[in-house]
Structure 1
Amino acid sequence: MNNAPVRTVSDAKRDFYSHHTRPINSIYRRVVDELMVEMHLLSVNVDFAYDPIYALGIVTTFDRFMVGYEPEADKASIFNALCRSIHSTPEHYRGDAEAIKAAVSGMSLDDLKGQFEHLGEGGEGLRGTLAAIAHREKFKYSRPFGIGLYTLVEAVTPPEALKEKEAVETLFKDLASRLNISPDKLQKDVELYRSNMEKFAQAQEVMKDMLAADRKKREERKKAAEAVAEGITEPVAAAPEAGESADSPD
Protein backbone atom coordinates (compact mmCIF):
# COMPACT_ATOMS: atom_id res chain seq x y z
CA MET A 1 0.00 0.00 0.00
CA ASN A 2 1.35 3.45 -0.93
CA ASN A 3 1.55 5.62 2.18
CA ALA A 4 3.24 8.55 0.45
CA PRO A 5 1.65 11.91 1.34
CA VAL A 6 -0.81 13.29 -1.21
CA ARG A 7 0.78 16.04 -3.26
CA THR A 8 -0.71 19.49 -2.81
CA VAL A 9 -1.47 22.29 -5.25
CA SER A 10 1.61 24.05 -3.88
CA ASP A 11 3.72 21.02 -4.79
CA ALA A 12 2.35 21.11 -8.35
CA LYS A 13 3.01 24.85 -8.68
CA ARG A 14 6.54 24.42 -7.39
CA ASP A 15 7.16 21.69 -9.98
CA PHE A 16 5.59 23.85 -12.69
CA TYR A 17 7.86 26.83 -12.04
CA SER A 18 10.92 24.63 -11.80
CA HIS A 19 10.32 23.72 -15.47
CA HIS A 20 9.03 27.07 -16.75
CA THR A 21 11.00 29.91 -15.19
CA ARG A 22 9.86 32.82 -17.32
CA PRO A 23 6.96 35.10 -16.26
CA ILE A 24 3.58 34.24 -17.77
CA ASN A 25 1.77 36.91 -19.74
CA SER A 26 -0.84 38.33 -17.36
CA ILE A 27 -3.66 38.05 -19.92
CA TYR A 28 -3.18 34.27 -20.05
CA ARG A 29 -2.16 33.57 -16.45
CA ARG A 30 -5.67 32.59 -15.37
CA VAL A 31 -5.92 29.97 -18.13
CA VAL A 32 -2.63 28.40 -17.06
CA ASP A 33 -3.43 28.52 -13.33
CA GLU A 34 -6.87 26.95 -13.77
CA LEU A 35 -5.50 24.17 -15.96
CA MET A 36 -2.67 23.48 -13.53
CA VAL A 37 -5.00 23.23 -10.52
CA GLU A 38 -7.56 21.14 -12.41
CA MET A 39 -4.97 18.68 -13.71
CA HIS A 40 -3.43 18.37 -10.24
CA LEU A 41 -6.69 17.82 -8.36
CA LEU A 42 -7.74 15.13 -10.83
CA SER A 43 -4.34 13.43 -10.69
CA VAL A 44 -4.65 12.92 -6.92
CA ASN A 45 -8.33 11.87 -6.99
CA VAL A 46 -8.64 8.12 -6.30
CA ASP A 47 -11.59 7.77 -8.69
CA PHE A 48 -9.88 9.50 -11.60
CA ALA A 49 -8.44 7.46 -14.45
CA TYR A 50 -6.54 9.11 -17.29
CA ASP A 51 -7.87 8.38 -20.80
CA PRO A 52 -7.22 9.75 -24.32
CA ILE A 53 -10.47 11.76 -24.43
CA TYR A 54 -9.44 13.57 -21.26
CA ALA A 55 -6.00 14.18 -22.79
CA LEU A 56 -7.66 15.64 -25.90
CA GLY A 57 -9.68 17.98 -23.69
CA ILE A 58 -6.56 19.25 -21.93
CA VAL A 59 -4.64 19.73 -25.18
CA THR A 60 -7.60 21.43 -26.90
CA THR A 61 -8.19 23.79 -23.97
CA PHE A 62 -4.54 24.79 -23.83
CA ASP A 63 -4.09 25.25 -27.58
CA ARG A 64 -7.28 27.22 -28.13
CA PHE A 65 -7.10 29.49 -25.10
CA MET A 66 -3.39 30.20 -25.56
CA VAL A 67 -3.78 31.44 -29.14
CA GLY A 68 -1.88 34.68 -29.59
CA TYR A 69 0.43 34.11 -26.64
CA GLU A 70 3.72 35.97 -26.90
CA PRO A 71 6.45 35.01 -27.00
CA GLU A 72 5.16 32.13 -29.11
CA ALA A 73 8.18 29.98 -28.21
CA ASP A 74 7.12 29.96 -24.54
CA LYS A 75 3.91 28.00 -25.23
CA ALA A 76 5.71 24.67 -25.55
CA SER A 77 7.61 25.36 -22.33
CA ILE A 78 4.39 26.20 -20.47
CA PHE A 79 2.61 23.07 -21.66
CA ASN A 80 5.64 20.97 -20.77
CA ALA A 81 5.61 22.48 -17.26
CA LEU A 82 1.87 21.75 -16.87
CA CYS A 83 2.41 18.08 -17.69
CA ARG A 84 5.57 17.81 -15.59
CA SER A 85 3.77 19.36 -12.62
CA ILE A 86 1.69 16.16 -12.37
CA HIS A 87 4.64 13.89 -13.20
CA SER A 88 3.57 13.28 -16.79
CA THR A 89 4.97 14.46 -20.13
CA PRO A 90 3.71 16.60 -23.01
CA GLU A 91 4.50 13.72 -25.36
CA HIS A 92 2.09 11.48 -23.44
CA TYR A 93 -0.76 13.99 -23.57
CA ARG A 94 -0.26 15.16 -27.14
CA GLY A 95 0.41 11.66 -28.42
CA ASP A 96 -2.85 10.29 -26.99
CA ALA A 97 -4.81 13.38 -28.03
CA GLU A 98 -3.60 13.15 -31.61
CA ALA A 99 -4.26 9.41 -31.77
CA ILE A 100 -7.85 9.64 -30.53
CA LYS A 101 -8.58 12.54 -32.88
CA ALA A 102 -7.01 10.65 -35.79
CA ALA A 103 -9.36 7.75 -34.96
CA VAL A 104 -12.36 9.84 -36.08
CA SER A 105 -10.67 11.21 -39.20
CA GLY A 106 -12.90 10.62 -42.20
CA MET A 107 -15.92 9.69 -40.05
CA SER A 108 -19.33 11.28 -40.34
CA LEU A 109 -21.34 12.18 -37.23
CA ASP A 110 -23.39 9.00 -37.72
CA ASP A 111 -20.18 6.98 -37.87
CA LEU A 112 -19.05 8.51 -34.58
CA LYS A 113 -22.42 7.85 -32.94
CA GLY A 114 -22.08 4.26 -34.09
CA GLN A 115 -18.93 3.96 -31.97
CA PHE A 116 -21.09 4.51 -28.88
CA GLU A 117 -23.37 1.56 -29.67
CA HIS A 118 -23.01 -1.94 -28.21
CA LEU A 119 -20.32 -0.86 -25.76
CA GLY A 120 -21.05 -3.97 -23.73
CA GLU A 121 -19.18 -5.93 -26.38
CA GLY A 122 -15.97 -3.94 -25.80
CA GLY A 123 -13.65 -3.30 -28.72
CA GLU A 124 -10.39 -1.66 -29.70
CA GLY A 125 -9.29 1.90 -30.38
CA LEU A 126 -11.94 4.54 -29.80
CA ARG A 127 -14.68 1.98 -29.12
CA GLY A 128 -12.45 0.29 -26.56
CA THR A 129 -11.83 3.62 -24.79
CA LEU A 130 -15.56 4.36 -24.73
CA ALA A 131 -16.39 0.85 -23.47
CA ALA A 132 -13.87 1.14 -20.62
CA ILE A 133 -15.45 4.44 -19.57
CA ALA A 134 -19.00 3.10 -19.74
CA HIS A 135 -18.09 0.05 -17.65
CA ARG A 136 -15.97 1.80 -15.04
CA GLU A 137 -17.66 1.47 -11.65
CA LYS A 138 -16.58 4.92 -10.42
CA PHE A 139 -15.81 6.95 -13.49
CA LYS A 140 -14.64 10.43 -12.43
CA TYR A 141 -16.19 12.78 -14.96
CA SER A 142 -14.30 16.03 -15.54
CA ARG A 143 -14.66 19.21 -17.55
CA PRO A 144 -11.64 18.37 -19.76
CA PHE A 145 -13.27 15.03 -20.59
CA GLY A 146 -16.41 16.87 -21.71
CA ILE A 147 -14.33 19.22 -23.85
CA GLY A 148 -12.48 16.25 -25.35
CA LEU A 149 -15.79 14.60 -26.23
CA TYR A 150 -17.03 17.83 -27.79
CA THR A 151 -13.79 18.10 -29.79
CA LEU A 152 -14.41 14.65 -31.30
CA VAL A 153 -17.97 15.64 -32.25
CA GLU A 154 -16.73 18.96 -33.63
CA ALA A 155 -14.20 17.13 -35.83
CA VAL A 156 -16.93 15.19 -37.67
CA THR A 157 -19.74 17.77 -37.71
CA PRO A 158 -20.24 20.64 -40.19
CA PRO A 159 -19.97 24.04 -38.41
CA GLU A 160 -23.54 24.92 -39.43
CA ALA A 161 -24.91 21.85 -37.65
CA LEU A 162 -23.11 22.80 -34.42
CA LYS A 163 -25.10 26.04 -34.38
CA GLU A 164 -28.35 24.08 -33.93
CA LYS A 165 -28.57 24.26 -30.15
CA GLU A 166 -31.41 21.77 -29.65
CA ALA A 167 -29.77 19.17 -31.88
CA VAL A 168 -26.47 19.54 -30.01
CA GLU A 169 -28.23 19.20 -26.65
CA THR A 170 -30.03 16.06 -27.79
CA LEU A 171 -26.80 14.58 -29.14
CA PHE A 172 -24.81 15.03 -25.94
CA LYS A 173 -27.68 13.81 -23.81
CA ASP A 174 -27.65 10.60 -25.84
CA LEU A 175 -23.85 10.22 -25.69
CA ALA A 176 -23.86 10.80 -21.94
CA SER A 177 -26.48 8.10 -21.39
CA ARG A 178 -24.43 5.59 -23.39
CA LEU A 179 -21.33 6.36 -21.29
CA ASN A 180 -23.28 6.29 -18.02
CA ILE A 181 -22.24 9.81 -17.10
CA SER A 182 -24.36 12.77 -15.99
CA PRO A 183 -26.02 14.39 -19.04
CA ASP A 184 -26.53 17.59 -17.03
CA LYS A 185 -22.84 17.95 -16.18
CA LEU A 186 -21.78 17.19 -19.75
CA GLN A 187 -24.33 19.59 -21.22
CA LYS A 188 -23.34 22.36 -18.81
CA ASP A 189 -19.63 21.98 -19.62
CA VAL A 190 -20.25 21.88 -23.38
CA GLU A 191 -22.40 25.02 -23.24
CA LEU A 192 -19.86 26.84 -21.06
CA TYR A 193 -16.99 25.84 -23.34
CA ARG A 194 -18.84 27.02 -26.46
CA SER A 195 -19.74 30.29 -24.74
CA ASN A 196 -16.18 30.86 -23.55
CA MET A 197 -14.81 30.20 -27.03
CA GLU A 198 -17.12 32.87 -28.46
CA LYS A 199 -16.08 35.36 -25.79
CA PHE A 200 -12.44 34.47 -26.30
CA ALA A 201 -12.70 35.05 -30.05
CA GLN A 202 -14.03 38.54 -29.33
CA ALA A 203 -11.33 39.18 -26.73
CA GLN A 204 -8.71 37.99 -29.21
CA GLU A 205 -9.61 40.82 -31.57
CA VAL A 206 -9.14 43.33 -28.75
CA MET A 207 -5.84 41.69 -27.77
CA LYS A 208 -4.62 41.79 -31.37
CA ASP A 209 -5.22 45.55 -31.46
CA MET A 210 -3.48 46.00 -28.10
CA LEU A 211 -0.49 43.90 -29.15
CA ALA A 212 -0.26 45.69 -32.52
CA ALA A 213 -0.28 49.08 -30.77
CA ASP A 214 2.37 47.87 -28.33
CA ARG A 215 4.58 46.59 -31.16
CA LYS A 216 4.19 49.90 -33.00
CA LYS A 217 5.31 51.85 -29.92
CA ARG A 218 8.32 49.57 -29.44
CA GLU A 219 9.30 49.98 -33.09
CA GLU A 220 8.98 53.77 -32.87
CA ARG A 221 11.13 53.87 -29.73
CA LYS A 222 13.72 51.62 -31.39
CA LYS A 223 13.85 53.79 -34.51
CA ALA A 224 14.17 56.94 -32.39
CA ALA A 225 17.04 55.40 -30.41
CA GLU A 226 18.79 54.28 -33.61
CA ALA A 227 18.37 57.73 -35.13
CA VAL A 228 19.99 59.36 -32.09
CA ALA A 229 22.84 56.83 -32.15
CA GLU A 230 23.50 57.56 -35.82
CA GLY A 231 23.49 61.32 -35.27
CA ILE A 232 20.44 61.87 -37.47
CA THR A 233 18.76 63.83 -34.71
CA GLU A 234 20.36 65.76 -31.92
CA PRO A 235 19.68 64.72 -28.32
CA VAL A 236 18.03 67.32 -26.07
CA ALA A 237 20.71 69.62 -24.59
CA ALA A 238 21.36 69.25 -20.90
CA ALA A 239 20.01 72.00 -18.66
CA PRO A 240 22.68 74.59 -17.65
CA GLU A 241 24.16 74.48 -14.19
CA ALA A 242 22.77 76.91 -11.61
CA GLY A 243 24.25 80.37 -12.08
CA GLU A 244 25.40 79.54 -15.59
CA SER A 245 23.91 81.15 -18.68
CA ALA A 246 22.59 78.77 -21.31
CA ASP A 247 24.80 80.47 -23.88
CA SER A 248 27.89 80.88 -21.67
CA PRO A 249 31.13 79.83 -23.33
CA ASP A 250 32.90 76.72 -22.11
Structure 2
Amino acid sequence: MAALTSLSFSAVTHCPERKKLTFSSTPFLATSSDFFGLRTHFSYHHVGVRASNSTSNMVVQCMSSVTDAPTVSETKLNFLKAYKRPIPSIYNTVLQELIVQQHLMRYKRSYRYDPVFALGFVTVYDKLMEGYPSDEDRDAIFQAYIKALKENPQEYRIDARKLEEWARVQNPISLLEFSSKEGEGEGILKEIAERAAGKGEFSYNRFFAVGLFRLLELANATEPTILDKLCAALNINKRSVDRDLDVYRNLLSKLVQAKELLKEYVDREKKKRDERTEPQKANEAITTCLGEQLPGL
Protein backbone atom coordinates (compact mmCIF):
# COMPACT_ATOMS: atom_id res chain seq x y z
CA MET A 1 0.00 0.00 0.00
CA ALA A 2 1.14 3.51 -0.61
CA ALA A 3 2.42 5.62 2.20
CA LEU A 4 -0.29 7.09 4.37
CA THR A 5 -0.89 10.79 3.93
CA SER A 6 -1.57 12.17 7.38
CA LEU A 7 -4.52 14.26 8.43
CA SER A 8 -3.23 15.74 11.64
CA PHE A 9 -5.48 17.48 14.11
CA SER A 10 -2.79 19.80 15.35
CA ALA A 11 -4.84 21.75 17.84
CA VAL A 12 -7.75 20.97 20.12
CA THR A 13 -8.69 24.04 22.08
CA HIS A 14 -11.51 24.96 24.39
CA CYS A 15 -12.39 28.61 24.73
CA PRO A 16 -14.66 29.12 27.74
CA GLU A 17 -15.77 32.57 26.70
CA ARG A 18 -17.02 31.53 23.27
CA LYS A 19 -17.67 27.87 24.08
CA LYS A 20 -15.94 26.54 21.00
CA LEU A 21 -14.29 23.24 20.28
CA THR A 22 -11.73 23.69 17.53
CA PHE A 23 -9.83 21.24 15.37
CA SER A 24 -7.27 22.22 12.76
CA SER A 25 -6.01 19.90 10.05
CA THR A 26 -3.73 19.78 7.07
CA PRO A 27 -4.94 19.29 3.50
CA PHE A 28 -5.61 15.77 2.29
CA LEU A 29 -6.18 13.83 -0.90
CA ALA A 30 -3.94 16.01 -3.06
CA THR A 31 -2.98 14.88 -6.55
CA SER A 32 -1.01 16.42 -9.36
CA SER A 33 -4.14 16.86 -11.48
CA ASP A 34 -6.24 18.82 -9.03
CA PHE A 35 -6.33 19.51 -5.34
CA PHE A 36 -8.83 17.99 -2.94
CA GLY A 37 -8.25 19.66 0.41
CA LEU A 38 -9.82 19.76 3.80
CA ARG A 39 -8.92 22.59 6.13
CA THR A 40 -11.24 21.86 8.98
CA HIS A 41 -12.21 24.26 11.71
CA PHE A 42 -14.80 22.42 13.78
CA SER A 43 -16.73 24.63 16.19
CA TYR A 44 -19.64 23.74 18.41
CA HIS A 45 -22.11 26.22 17.13
CA HIS A 46 -24.47 26.37 14.16
CA VAL A 47 -23.53 28.33 11.11
CA GLY A 48 -25.16 28.91 7.77
CA VAL A 49 -23.62 28.19 4.42
CA ARG A 50 -21.69 31.14 3.11
CA ALA A 51 -20.98 31.87 -0.47
CA SER A 52 -17.35 32.36 -1.32
CA ASN A 53 -16.04 35.25 -3.32
CA SER A 54 -13.41 33.43 -4.40
CA THR A 55 -30.32 10.02 -18.02
CA SER A 56 -29.46 7.56 -16.74
CA ASN A 57 -30.33 4.01 -16.09
CA MET A 58 -26.73 3.47 -15.16
CA VAL A 59 -25.73 5.13 -18.45
CA VAL A 60 -22.79 7.50 -18.69
CA GLN A 61 -23.66 11.16 -19.12
CA CYS A 62 -22.07 13.46 -21.66
CA MET A 63 -18.87 15.27 -20.87
CA SER A 64 -19.26 18.70 -19.38
CA SER A 65 -18.34 21.77 -21.33
CA VAL A 66 -15.82 24.08 -19.74
CA THR A 67 -16.93 26.97 -21.93
CA ASP A 68 -20.15 27.51 -19.98
CA ALA A 69 -18.93 26.30 -16.58
CA PRO A 70 -20.17 28.29 -13.58
CA THR A 71 -17.75 29.67 -11.04
CA VAL A 72 -17.12 28.06 -7.66
CA SER A 73 -18.94 30.97 -6.05
CA GLU A 74 -22.01 30.31 -8.20
CA THR A 75 -22.02 26.64 -7.25
CA LYS A 76 -21.83 27.49 -3.56
CA LEU A 77 -24.60 30.04 -3.97
CA ASN A 78 -26.74 27.37 -5.64
CA PHE A 79 -26.22 25.19 -2.59
CA LEU A 80 -27.14 28.07 -0.31
CA LYS A 81 -30.35 28.74 -2.22
CA ALA A 82 -31.35 25.08 -2.26
CA TYR A 83 -30.73 24.48 1.45
CA LYS A 84 -31.30 27.52 3.63
CA ARG A 85 -31.23 25.98 7.10
CA PRO A 86 -28.09 26.27 9.29
CA ILE A 87 -25.75 23.29 9.29
CA PRO A 88 -23.64 22.36 12.36
CA SER A 89 -20.14 23.48 11.55
CA ILE A 90 -18.52 20.07 12.10
CA TYR A 91 -20.44 18.98 8.98
CA ASN A 92 -20.66 22.32 7.20
CA THR A 93 -16.91 22.89 7.03
CA VAL A 94 -16.24 19.56 5.34
CA LEU A 95 -19.22 19.95 3.01
CA GLN A 96 -17.98 23.34 1.87
CA GLU A 97 -14.55 21.90 1.08
CA LEU A 98 -16.08 18.93 -0.74
CA ILE A 99 -18.34 21.03 -2.92
CA VAL A 100 -15.46 23.29 -3.98
CA GLN A 101 -13.29 20.34 -4.92
CA GLN A 102 -16.10 18.42 -6.60
CA HIS A 103 -16.88 21.55 -8.61
CA LEU A 104 -13.31 21.41 -9.95
CA MET A 105 -13.79 17.73 -10.88
CA ARG A 106 -17.24 18.33 -12.34
CA TYR A 107 -16.15 21.04 -14.76
CA LYS A 108 -12.94 19.51 -16.04
CA ARG A 109 -13.09 18.95 -19.78
CA SER A 110 -12.52 15.21 -19.36
CA TYR A 111 -15.21 14.73 -16.70
CA ARG A 112 -17.87 12.13 -17.35
CA TYR A 113 -20.29 10.92 -14.73
CA ASP A 114 -20.25 7.18 -14.09
CA PRO A 115 -21.96 4.97 -11.48
CA VAL A 116 -18.69 3.93 -9.78
CA PHE A 117 -17.94 7.60 -9.16
CA ALA A 118 -21.53 8.04 -7.88
CA LEU A 119 -21.13 5.07 -5.54
CA GLY A 120 -17.91 6.56 -4.19
CA PHE A 121 -19.46 9.94 -3.51
CA VAL A 122 -22.57 8.44 -1.89
CA THR A 123 -20.32 6.32 0.33
CA VAL A 124 -18.24 9.32 1.40
CA TYR A 125 -21.32 11.47 2.00
CA ASP A 126 -23.14 8.84 4.06
CA LYS A 127 -20.06 8.19 6.20
CA LEU A 128 -19.49 11.90 6.72
CA MET A 129 -23.10 12.55 7.71
CA GLU A 130 -23.48 9.60 10.07
CA GLY A 131 -25.02 10.83 13.29
CA TYR A 132 -26.55 13.94 11.72
CA PRO A 133 -29.43 15.13 13.95
CA SER A 134 -32.12 14.68 11.28
CA ASP A 135 -32.42 12.03 8.54
CA GLU A 136 -34.75 14.34 6.62
CA ASP A 137 -32.25 17.20 6.71
CA ARG A 138 -29.40 14.87 5.75
CA ASP A 139 -31.28 13.88 2.58
CA ALA A 140 -32.23 17.49 1.87
CA ILE A 141 -28.57 18.54 2.11
CA PHE A 142 -27.60 15.73 -0.28
CA GLN A 143 -30.23 16.91 -2.75
CA ALA A 144 -29.07 20.52 -2.51
CA TYR A 145 -25.40 19.54 -2.86
CA ILE A 146 -25.84 17.53 -6.07
CA LYS A 147 -28.27 20.01 -7.62
CA ALA A 148 -25.79 22.82 -6.94
CA LEU A 149 -23.42 20.94 -9.26
CA LYS A 150 -26.20 20.74 -11.88
CA GLU A 151 -26.51 17.00 -11.59
CA ASN A 152 -29.31 14.65 -10.56
CA PRO A 153 -29.31 13.48 -6.91
CA GLN A 154 -31.81 10.69 -7.67
CA GLU A 155 -29.46 9.41 -10.35
CA TYR A 156 -26.60 9.25 -7.85
CA ARG A 157 -28.69 7.33 -5.33
CA ILE A 158 -30.26 4.96 -7.87
CA ASP A 159 -26.98 4.15 -9.61
CA ALA A 160 -25.15 3.67 -6.30
CA ARG A 161 -27.88 1.35 -5.02
CA LYS A 162 -27.90 -0.73 -8.22
CA LEU A 163 -24.13 -1.15 -8.14
CA GLU A 164 -24.29 -2.15 -4.47
CA GLU A 165 -26.95 -4.75 -5.25
CA TRP A 166 -24.85 -6.06 -8.13
CA ALA A 167 -21.68 -6.25 -6.03
CA ARG A 168 -23.43 -8.14 -3.22
CA VAL A 169 -24.03 -11.13 -5.48
CA GLN A 170 -20.47 -11.14 -6.80
CA ASN A 171 -17.38 -12.84 -5.46
CA PRO A 172 -13.70 -12.04 -6.01
CA ILE A 173 -13.52 -14.20 -9.13
CA SER A 174 -16.72 -13.02 -10.80
CA LEU A 175 -15.85 -9.41 -10.02
CA LEU A 176 -12.60 -9.73 -11.95
CA GLU A 177 -14.27 -11.51 -14.87
CA PHE A 178 -16.55 -8.59 -15.75
CA SER A 179 -15.01 -8.24 -19.23
CA SER A 180 -16.17 -11.72 -20.26
CA LYS A 181 -19.71 -11.44 -18.90
CA GLU A 182 -22.89 -9.64 -19.80
CA GLY A 183 -24.95 -7.57 -17.41
CA GLU A 184 -25.61 -4.06 -16.24
CA GLY A 185 -22.79 -3.95 -13.70
CA GLU A 186 -20.38 -5.66 -16.04
CA GLY A 187 -21.27 -3.20 -18.79
CA ILE A 188 -20.41 -0.24 -16.58
CA LEU A 189 -16.97 -1.64 -15.74
CA LYS A 190 -16.31 -2.52 -19.40
CA GLU A 191 -17.13 1.01 -20.50
CA ILE A 192 -14.83 2.47 -17.82
CA ALA A 193 -11.99 0.13 -18.82
CA GLU A 194 -12.33 1.17 -22.48
CA ARG A 195 -12.27 4.86 -21.67
CA ALA A 196 -9.34 4.47 -19.26
CA ALA A 197 -7.43 2.55 -21.94
CA GLY A 198 -7.55 5.61 -24.16
CA LYS A 199 -10.67 4.84 -26.19
CA GLY A 200 -12.48 7.77 -24.65
CA GLU A 201 -12.11 10.48 -22.04
CA PHE A 202 -11.50 9.28 -18.50
CA SER A 203 -10.59 11.43 -15.52
CA TYR A 204 -9.62 9.52 -12.40
CA ASN A 205 -10.65 11.00 -9.03
CA ARG A 206 -10.72 9.92 -5.43
CA PHE A 207 -14.47 9.33 -5.35
CA PHE A 208 -13.90 6.73 -8.05
CA ALA A 209 -11.30 5.06 -5.81
CA VAL A 210 -13.77 4.90 -2.94
CA GLY A 211 -16.36 3.43 -5.31
CA LEU A 212 -13.96 0.63 -6.25
CA PHE A 213 -13.25 -0.01 -2.59
CA ARG A 214 -16.98 -0.25 -1.88
CA LEU A 215 -17.44 -2.80 -4.68
CA LEU A 216 -14.67 -4.97 -3.23
CA GLU A 217 -16.12 -4.62 0.25
CA LEU A 218 -19.60 -5.75 -0.84
CA ALA A 219 -18.20 -8.66 -2.85
CA ASN A 220 -16.17 -9.80 0.19
CA ALA A 221 -13.00 -9.44 -1.87
CA THR A 222 -10.64 -8.88 1.04
CA GLU A 223 -7.51 -10.33 -0.53
CA PRO A 224 -5.15 -7.37 -1.29
CA THR A 225 -4.22 -8.77 -4.70
CA ILE A 226 -7.84 -8.47 -5.86
CA LEU A 227 -7.59 -4.68 -5.91
CA ASP A 228 -4.37 -4.97 -7.93
CA LYS A 229 -6.08 -7.18 -10.49
CA LEU A 230 -9.23 -5.05 -10.65
CA CYS A 231 -7.22 -1.88 -11.25
CA ALA A 232 -5.26 -3.65 -13.98
CA ALA A 233 -8.49 -4.86 -15.62
CA LEU A 234 -9.90 -1.34 -15.50
CA ASN A 235 -6.65 0.25 -16.72
CA ILE A 236 -6.49 2.37 -13.54
CA ASN A 237 -3.29 3.43 -11.77
CA LYS A 238 -3.14 1.26 -8.65
CA ARG A 239 -0.78 3.60 -6.80
CA SER A 240 -3.27 6.45 -7.06
CA VAL A 241 -6.05 4.24 -5.74
CA ASP A 242 -3.89 3.04 -2.82
CA ARG A 243 -2.98 6.59 -1.87
CA ASP A 244 -6.52 7.88 -1.94
CA LEU A 245 -7.93 4.90 -0.04
CA ASP A 246 -5.30 5.29 2.67
CA VAL A 247 -6.23 8.91 3.17
CA TYR A 248 -9.96 8.13 3.00
CA ARG A 249 -9.60 5.60 5.83
CA ASN A 250 -7.54 8.05 7.84
CA LEU A 251 -10.10 10.79 7.30
CA LEU A 252 -12.93 8.57 8.56
CA SER A 253 -10.90 7.77 11.67
CA LYS A 254 -10.29 11.45 12.38
CA LEU A 255 -13.94 12.33 11.83
CA VAL A 256 -14.98 9.67 14.34
CA GLN A 257 -12.54 11.13 16.87
CA ALA A 258 -13.79 14.65 16.22
CA LYS A 259 -17.42 13.65 16.71
CA GLU A 260 -16.59 11.81 19.92
CA LEU A 261 -14.76 14.84 21.30
CA LEU A 262 -17.64 17.06 20.29
CA LYS A 263 -20.15 14.78 22.01
CA GLU A 264 -18.07 14.83 25.19
CA TYR A 265 -17.97 18.61 25.04
CA VAL A 266 -21.73 18.90 24.52
CA ASP A 267 -22.44 16.47 27.37
CA ARG A 268 -20.10 18.37 29.67
CA GLU A 269 -21.72 21.73 28.85
CA LYS A 270 -25.19 20.26 29.35
CA LYS A 271 -24.19 18.95 32.76
CA LYS A 272 -22.87 22.39 33.72
CA ARG A 273 -26.11 24.05 32.63
CA ASP A 274 -28.15 21.55 34.61
CA GLU A 275 -26.03 22.19 37.71
CA ARG A 276 -26.52 25.94 37.38
CA THR A 277 -30.29 25.67 36.97
CA GLU A 278 -30.88 23.30 39.92
CA PRO A 279 -30.54 25.99 42.67
CA GLN A 280 -32.77 28.33 40.68
CA LYS A 281 -35.43 25.65 40.31
CA ALA A 282 -35.24 24.89 44.04
CA ASN A 283 -35.72 28.56 44.93
CA GLU A 284 -38.68 28.81 42.56
CA ALA A 285 -40.26 25.72 44.13
CA ILE A 286 -39.82 27.14 47.65
CA THR A 287 -41.29 30.49 46.60
CA THR A 288 -44.29 28.76 45.01
CA CYS A 289 -44.85 26.60 48.06
CA LEU A 290 -44.72 29.58 50.46
CA GLY A 291 -47.07 31.54 48.24
CA GLU A 292 -49.64 28.75 48.34
CA GLN A 293 -49.41 28.35 52.13
CA LEU A 294 -49.48 32.10 52.91
CA PRO A 295 -51.82 33.55 50.29
CA GLY A 296 -52.48 36.69 52.35
CA LEU A 297 -48.84 37.73 52.47
By the TM > 0.5 criterion, same fold?
Answer: yes
**When the two structures are aligned, how many residues end up with a matched partner?**
220
Q: What does residue 194 of structure 2 align with?
A: 135
Cα separation, 1, equivalents of 2:131 and 2:234 = 35
Q: How many Å apart are 1:189 and its aligned residue?
A: 0.8
Q: How many Å apart are 1:181 and its aligned residue?
A: 1.6
Q: How many Å apart are 1:219 and its aligned residue?
A: 6.2
Distance 1:7 1:218, change over 3 A: farther
Equivalent position SS for 1:40: helix
Q: How many Å apart are 1:151 and its aligned residue?
A: 0.8
Check whether the contact 2:176–2:233 (CA below 8 A) recurs between aligned residues: no
Check whether the contact 2:66–2:107 (CA below 8 A) recurs between aligned residues: no
In terms of fraction of residues, the more helix-rich structure is 1
Cα separation, 2, equivalents of 1:103 and 1:59 = 16
Q: What does residue 75 of structure 2 align with?
A: 12
The TM-score, its normalising length taken from structure 1, stands at: 0.76
Q: How many Å apart are 1:175 and its aligned residue?
A: 1.5
In terms of fraction of residues, the more strand-rich structure is 2
| AA of the residue aligned to 1:127 | E
Q: What does residue 182 of structure 2 align with?
A: 123
Structure 2, unaligned stretches of length 5 or more?
1-64, 289-297
The question of 1:232 aligning with 2:285 is answered yes
Distance 1:21 1:126, change over 3 A: same
Structure 1, unaligned stretches of length 5 or more?
162-166, 236-250
Equivalent position SS for 1:104: helix
Q: How many Å apart are 1:78 and its aligned residue?
A: 1.3
Equivalent position SS for 1:232: helix
Cα separation, 1, equivalents of 2:208 and 2:202 = 11
Check whether the contact 1:122–1:132 (CA below 8 A) recurs between aligned residues: no
% identity of equivalent residues: 32
CA distances 1:177-207 after superposition (whole Å, capped 9, x unpaired): 1111211111111111122223333333323
Q: What does residue 238 of structure 1 align with?
A: none
The TM-score, its normalising length taken from structure 2, stands at: 0.65
Q: What does residue 44 of structure 1 align with?
A: 107
Q: How does 1:15-34 map to 2 (within 5 A)?
A: 15-34=78-97
| AA of the residue aligned to 2:122 | V
